[in-house]
Amino acid sequence: MKLTIVISLLASVVFAGGVQAAGDAKAGQQKAQACVACHGVNGNATNPIWPKLAGQNAGYLLKQLQDFKSGKKRTDPLMAGQVASLSGQDMEDLAAFFSAQKPVIGTADEASLEMGQRIYRGGNQASGVSACMACHGPSGEGNPPARFPMLSGQNVDYTVKQLKAFRSGERSNDAGKMMQNIAARMTDEEIAAVASYMHGLH
């Protein structure tokens, strides 16, 4: 069975069982003050190693916070400390706040634009890499019910790090190893190119 078919089947399962955030954005704004140092004012991180949270799907944000708190499939020493004292309601409120913020979109590197666009929109049939837009949308908006994240404007260094973490198995909180299987088929050059393309995607 082709990887693209498997992804479609997994997406339907995830869609049916997605975690949805139902937080209070106003309450989340106050709680988000502890997040500003890394993720920036209103969730637009200026340091490229940290993710932009502004405009990210609330359900996806909630799941990441929950996964960091459990420490089983996604670990980070800094985030572990940040989420340790958060309640379920705190996480829902933070997710609601950041998802309501307006993201700042970057610019793709012209040198890798063609490769990045080709992989994002068409994948790489030779190596079995599926098109990113199949799950993340043609404009990188993601799929909120399925908890597939928005990729539009995301910081390049952060995206590269996450794809490599999926590839190595260091990060494994993807449904059905979907991202692990895709990243395992990608070269460093392809990862860098698609990360740059997504940075300027909107």
Biggest distance spanned by C-alpha atoms of the chain: 49
The domain 3-14+105-199 having CATH identifier 1.10.760.10: the answer here is yes
Same fold, 3-14+105-199 and 18-99: yes
Tell me the three state secondary structure of residue 100.
Answer: coil
Regarding pTM above 0.75, the answer is yes
* Choices 1.10.760.10, 3.40.50.2300, 3.10.20.70, 3.90.550.10: CATH for 18-99: 1.10.760.10
- 116-149 residue pLDDT tens: 999 999 999 999 999 999 999 999 999 999 999 9
155-202 residue pLDDT tens: 999 999 999 999 999 999 999 999 999 999 999 999 999 999 999 998
Per 3-state DSSP, what percentage of the chain is helix, strand, and coil (rounded to 5)?
A: 60, 0, 40
**Where do the structural domains in the chain lie, given as residue ranges?**
3-14+105-199, 18-99
